[in-house]
Amino acid sequence: MPPPAASHFVCSSPSLFPLSSFPSSSSSKPQIGYCPTPTLTRLSSVASLSKPKSHLRKLTPLSAVSIEKETIISERPHTFLRETDGQDDGSVRSRFQRMIMEVQDSVCAALEAVDGAGKFKEDAWTRPGGGGGISRVLQDGAVFEKAGVNISVVYGVMPPEAYRAAKASAADEKPGPIPFFAAGVSSVLHPKNPFAPTLHFNYRYFETDAPKDAPGAPRQWWFGGGTDLTPAYIFEEDVKHFHSIQKQACDKFDPSFYPRFKKWCDDYFYITHRGERRGLGGIFFDDLNDYDQEMLLSFTTECANSVVPAYIPIIEKRKDIPFNESQKAWQQLRRGRYVEFNLVYDRGTTFGLKTGGRIESILVSLPLSARWEYDHKPEEGSEEWKLLNACINPEEWI
């Protein structure tokens, strides 16, 4: 048995869109390391749960497929699309790629401006078979402990279990390897100040081609993504501002979107074994293809462009508030919850690992440090308790 006060060294994708590259890899035996004291720990090794408990969602063993290894390049290219896709022909693939590149640039510029000291390191890469991506990370800045903003445009073939991870519906299961195209932008932002919230956003587009032995079968496509806020302390005006920006983006297209996707977000980011949500929600949707494709492309673009006005004003207000060691420790405990969710439940993490994704891109936005304390319970009525209560009992913020 582990010592009474044990911290698990774990590492998993923080819900980043994982399709960054697909080097060959193989599954390894899961490992859990124990730390004898509940101190801050650097997240430095990949781990998994060796056997899911009966009350947890079932985990599928990892099984990465061999796909060409990425090649690091010195400059970002104009496009990652194959020539056979027309590159700039006005297709959904082409316009979605252009959108995610523009969003990456605008978000990184805004983050560097508010940080004032940190600069993003960029790695661009391609694959011989087509596709590639750009990974950017700002680490140990004045405001941000770690901020990652990735884009990827990827062609490949995924095994059936990876397809099931990408598509929630078991009814969509196909036999045999599935040719696919996927593009996305994803980010997780971890500020240093415990009064400044973590933010995650992720917007992606998928297409799957029909198997060669199924002539005439239609190509499938869908959009997915969302933006959600994960604070350690509640400032009601901040949460209302964040949710109001999400609602504004949704209402431009369908008034049913915000309440529907807000609930979806609360349900998706639920840590079953804790009985609480990861944070205070936002919007989330997946497998979305039951509307006009052009409308959904515009909707996803609007959501991605709402990240800066939703988040930057909050950071500006909270980044310089004085804090003490106890408040910092609470932030680290909440980051532990963040890691737990992504380790056990996140579909994006599962997909990236099953398809042999580029590990540095999958894990780029894990926090530098997190904390686990044995049987920690905040004092009822405290500011920490108020946050935990809101994670257990989701609120309607607007």
Q: pLDDT truncated to tens, each residue of the chain (398 aa)? A: 333 333 322 222 333 343 333 332 223 322 222 232 333 333 333 233 233 333 333 333 434 444 566 788 998 899 999 887 766 678 899 999 999 999 999 999 999 999 999 999 999 999 877 799 999 999 999 999 999 999 999 888 766 666 665 555 545 555 567 788 999 999 999 999 999 999 999 999 999 876 666 555 557 899 999 999 999 999 999 999 999 999 999 999 999 999 999 999 999 999 999 999 999 999 999 999 999 999 999 999 999 999 999 999 999 999 999 999 999 999 999 999 998 888 788 777 766 666 666 677 777 767 888 999 999 999 999 999 999 999 999 999 99
Domain that holds residue 355: 71-392
Q: Which residues are registered as beta bridge partners of 189?
A: 147, 199
Q: Give how far Cα 107 sits from Cα of 18, 84, 194, 310, Å.
A: 18, 30, 21, 11
Rounded to a whole number of angstroms, the CA Rg of the chain reads 20
Number of domains in the chain: 1
What is the distance, to the nearest Å, from the Cα of residue 21 to the centroid of all Cα atoms in its chain? Answer: 16
| Number of Cβ within a 10 Å radius of residue 239 | 22
Look at residue 176 and tell me if it is in a domain: yes
Look at residue 115 and tell me if it is in a domain: yes
CATH number at residue 355: 3.40.1500.10
Residue in 190, 200, 241, 243 annotated catalytic: 200
What is the distance, to the nearest Å, from the Cα of residue 186 to the centroid of all Cα atoms in its chain? Answer: 6
DSSP strands (E only) in 77-211: 121-126, 131-139, 144-158, 178-191, 198-208
Look at residue 339 and tell me if it is in a domain: yes
Look at residue 5 and tell me if it is in a domain: no
Look at residue 234 and tell me if it is in a domain: yes
- Residue 169 is predicted with a pLDDT of 55
- Residue 355 is predicted with a pLDDT of 63
Quick check: 261 and 300 in contact, CB under 8 A?
no
- Distance from first CA to last CA of the chain, Å, rounded? 46
Residue 69 CB-half CA count within 13 A: 4
Look at residue 206 and tell me if it is in a domain: yes
Helix (H, G, I), strand (E, B) or coil at 367: coil
Look at residue 40 and tell me if it is in a domain: no
243 is catalytic: no
Cα angle at 312 between 152 and 269, to 5 degrees? 60
Look at residue 336 and tell me if it is in a domain: yes
